[in-house]
Amino acid sequence: MKIADLQLTQLKAYLLRDGLTFRTGPFSFRLRSSASNLPPLLHQLYANYLLADEMFADFHVKLSRYNSWWYFCQSRWLLETDISTPYVFSFAQSTILPFLEWGTNWCVATQAHQYLMLHAGMLEKNGNTLLLPANPGSGKSTLCAALCHRSWRLLTDEIALVRPIDLALVSFPRLIPLKNQAIAVFRSFAPDAVLGPEYPKTHKGTVCHVRPPTDSIDRSDEIGRARWIVFPKFKAGALMALKPLDKTQAFIQLTGHSFNYELIGLRGFQAMTGLIDACDCYTFEYGGDLEQAVAQLNALAEGLI
């Protein structure tokens, strides 16, 4: 059963009582909240995620009103997890979806050390997987959203999970956050895509989330095999340029995009070198033409480059 199969009243009851437990990739999350604006958002944007009936969940997340007179007056809410942290994550109820997305990603990024984790998008086409490691603001999420709405299967746009023992790329499809001018560009590029509300004035500007295509979520138990590593960089007005990258330089850059490369030691080094050895590596600078960017990466996937 998927979240879309629940009525809004059922969804609300789950969130209020024992929690809504759902799967995304290899992880299960149990979510609790009394926020009235959350059930419709989940019903629309989490529609295709499977409900999980496990007794235990990998992560527990609770979104609740801050129990303080001052914060109550300011309508502040808390994001709490079962992970010990010295930080207090508070937010306005009107920004509940960005904080839920950030919180679930944070749980994985700080705990899932059975994987080598990279800040990268991953997409598969014809049995081969493209990795897009990038810093924030490089256009990675926009490219991921565009490619998965042009026949690529989305594995992730944010946290790439690499199984060190065999270099399998494990799917973790989440909502894709677009920012600022990229929102309008993508709406024009994929008018049939499902997008959530726009959230202005976040610390990253205006944010809007794209629901992954149904096929990408339904096939999230299928692993990927790395074939290309492409470091994207959006630059307004730039001429598109896909250039081969020396593997030594690719290794150096890729380690800089890992959440836990040093933490997992030898396993991380072996996985990182294995990825570099298995892949053709490139830099990719592109301007605002998403159709042109997708066509270039399609040509790469089809062996035309």
Q: Are 254 and 276 in contact (CB under 8 A)?
A: yes
pLDDT band, very low/low/confident/very high, at 186 (cuts 50, 70, 90): very high
**How far is residue 290's CA from residue 147's CA, in Å, rounded to a whole number?**
9
**How far is residue 50's CA from residue 72's CA, in Å, rounded to a whole number?**
34
Query: Residue-wise over 250-271: b if at least 16 C-beta within 10 A, else e?
Result: bbebbbebbbbbeebeebbbeb
In a 13 Å sphere around the CA of 298, the CA atoms on its Cβ side amount to 13
Q: Which residues contact 88 (CB under 8 A, 6 or more apart)?
A: 78
Interval 107-146: pLDDT, tens:
999 999 999 999 999 999 999 999 999 998 899 999 999 9
pTM exceeding the 0.75 threshold for the entire prediction: yes
Q: Whole-number mean pLDDT of the chain? A: 92
* pLDDT beyond 50 at 269: yes
* pLDDT beyond 80 at 27: yes
Percent of the chain past pLDDT 70, that is, above it, reads 95
* pLDDT beyond 70 at 88: no
* pLDDT beyond 70 at 87: no
Interval 274-284: pLDDT, tens:
999 999 999 99
Interval 36-76: pLDDT, tens:
999 999 999 999 999 987 678 999 999 888 765 544 455 67
Percent of the chain past pLDDT 90, that is, above it, reads 80
* pLDDT beyond 90 at 273: yes
**How far is residue 59's CA from residue 110's CA, in Å, rounded to a whole number?**
11
Angle at 106 between CA 15 and CA 146, to 5 degrees: 90
pLDDT at 81: 86
Strand partners, 2: 50
pLDDT band, very low/low/confident/very high, at 22 (cuts 50, 70, 90): very high
- DSSP states of 7-50: -HHHHHHHHHTT-EEEEETTEEEEEEE--TTHHHHHHHHSTTSB
pLDDT at 136: 86
pLDDT at 71: 47
